Each structure stands twice: as C-alpha cells, then as structure tokens.
Amino acid sequence: MDTQRVGIIIAVALLSVVAGMSGARGDEGKPAGPDQPNIVRQASAPISSIMQIRLQDTYVPEFKGLDGDGNTLTLAVTMPLPKYRLLPFPQLSLLTLPAAVTVPGEVTGLGDLRLVNIVILHTGERFIWGVGPALVFPTASETRTGQGKWQAGPAALAAFVPEKWLLGVLVQNPISFAGDSDRKDANAMILQPFVSYQLGDGWFIRSQPQLFFNWKTGQQTLPIDLGVGRVFRIGRQLVSCFVQPFWNITKDGPSPKYGITAGVAFIYPEFWKR
C-alpha cells in the first residue's frame, strides 16, 4: 500500500472516530468529566502535564524541490514528573520517535529519536514557563530518514491559559556535536507556537505549526494550520483525536507544500496517583 493510501485511510479513520463518538451510548463518547477543561487543554498542548501516549500520522502529497509524496507515522509519550520526583522542580518531558518515515522515492525507515525535558521554574494561576535540554539521537535506519548526528541544545516553554484558551510557545534548538562525519552538521531552531480553544462537550479547535529555521543553510519552513478534535471516553479510557491540515507559505525547498496530520492520544490523568 502506498503512502497516499496509508495517510488517507488513517486520517479518515480518525475523523470518523471523532465524529462517531459524539453519538455513542453508555460511557463511550461522553466528555472527560469534572476536570474536563484542563484535560482538553492538555490534550492540545505539544508537551503536557498529563501523561499521554500519542500516535500521529502526517501525509504530504507534494513537496517543493522533490518529486513524490511522503508520510510520517510518529509515536510520542508525554511524561510529567512531579516536584521532587527527580528534581526540586516539576518537569514536563516529551519523547518522540518517527516510527515509519516515508520520503519521496519510496524509501521508508525509522527516524531520529527526540527528547525534550522542560523544568518548570514558574507555575502561576494562568501562566507557566520553564527551560531545559533538547536532545536528538541518530536512531534512523535509513540515511534519508534521519540526520545521522548526535545533537543537544536548549529548549524553553511558556504558556498562558485564559478561560477556554491555551496560548503558548515551545522552542528547541538542538546542535550536532558528534555522529557520522560524512553527514552535514545540524543547527536548527524549531519554533512551535500553539493555540487552542474549547468549544464545549470535549470539542476543541487548535493550531500548532512547527516553524523550522536552519542556521546552517538559511532555509525556513513556515507552515500554517488549523485543526479540530475532541476528548471523550471509551469505557474508562480517556481518548483524544484530531485532524489538522496545513500549508507551507515559504518557497524554500525541499519542504512540504501542504499536507494533513491526524492523531489519537490515550490520556492518563491519574498516572502518578496510582
């Protein structure tokens, strides 16, 4: 099965789940519960104070500077660490593994493992911020699906939560320090602003583009996106789904012209209370 069919099937399936659950019976399809506003808010955040296991698929029908389409299936885990669990500050971590990256030319392989760990230095009623490291491990199984470099650099997070909104930004800038000497050095900033608004009954709209600025080449990738999703229950399990198309407004290549991302997350708000 080609990448186009895989991407379309996953996107349609997840959208069907989101829509279908609103009419389900019993516990299935019901909103998250008394803590729903915070759970819906965290489901839309790139790095979360609630443990989540996320599966996300991004399909790109067309690239700038390359012929063919592409698809990336990503597995991610958000793991918060309470105060004094490891450090005298709360921490938010995000572990991301591109499990199946297909690039133009029908090359498919494992991508590079990424870890971001944010130490929260200020937690207010409406505003939080923190800093920490961003790490990249050269785990890619194919040359074209990874960078072949060990990388480390700074990361920072700031978030503001007025009423039904979530507004913030996550910034990372890993820099290569070791790895394959035949591969290009890496030094790029990933700027990820995120905005979400709760519509009620677990529904939300979101925007979460990843803006890339390559300090080595001067190339930029500036996508714009807008998606919709819902948090609901399947039995006792909290689940979040979303679908989000995007468009790249820059002319630099090679980079995606446009695409669609669909995701599902399993949410565990009581993880540290068990």
Residue extents of the structural domains in the chain = 3-273
pLDDT reading at 272 higher than 90: no
- Give the mean model confidence (pLDDT) for residues 128-145: 95
Task: Yes or no: say if 179 and 148 are a contact pair by the CB < 8 Å rule.
Answer: yes
Per-residue pLDDT at 262: 97
pLDDT at 249: 93
Position 1 pLDDT exceeds 70:
no
Helices assigned H by DSSP within the chain: 3-21, 36-43
Mean pLDDT of 252-265: 92
- Long-range contacts of the stretch 163-166 (C-beta < 8 A, 24+): 164/37, 164/197, 164/198, 165/195, 165/196, 165/197, 165/198, 166/41, 166/44, 166/45, 166/194, 166/195, 166/196, 166/197
Interval 206-222 mean pLDDT: 94
pLDDT (mean) for 191-213: 96
pLDDT at residue 16 is higher than 90: no
Q: What is the DSSP string of 126-189?
A: SEEEEEEEEEEE---SSGGGS--EEEEEEEEEEEE--TTEEEEEEEE--EEEEE-TTSPP-BEE
Confidence check: pLDDT of 20 > 70: no
The confidence band for 29, taking pLDDT boundaries of 50, 70 and 90, is low
pLDDT at residue 31 tops 80: no
Mean pLDDT (the chain) is 88
Q: Is the pLDDT of residue 147 over 70?
A: yes
Residue 13 has pLDDT above 60, yes or no: no
Q: Across residues 95-115, what is the average pLDDT?
A: 93
Token pair, residue 9, equals: 């099937």
Q: Is the pLDDT of residue 33 over 60?
A: no
| Residue 171: pLDDT over 50 | yes
pLDDT per position as a tens digit, 46-87: 999 999 999 999 999 999 888 889 999 999 999 999 887 778
CATH label, 3-273, candidates 2.70.98.40, 3.30.930.10, 1.20.1740.10, 2.40.160.40? 2.40.160.40
Q: Is the per-residue pLDDT at 93 higher than 90?
A: yes
Q: What is the mean pLDDT of residues 88-107?
A: 92
Q: Where does the pLDDT of residue 14 fall: very low under 50, low under 70, confident under 90, or very high at 90 and above?
A: low
Tell me: pLDDT of 258 over 90: yes
**Which band of pLDDT confidence, cut at 50, 70 and 90, is reported for residue 253?**
confident
Q: Which residue has the higher pLDDT, 14 or 83?
A: 83
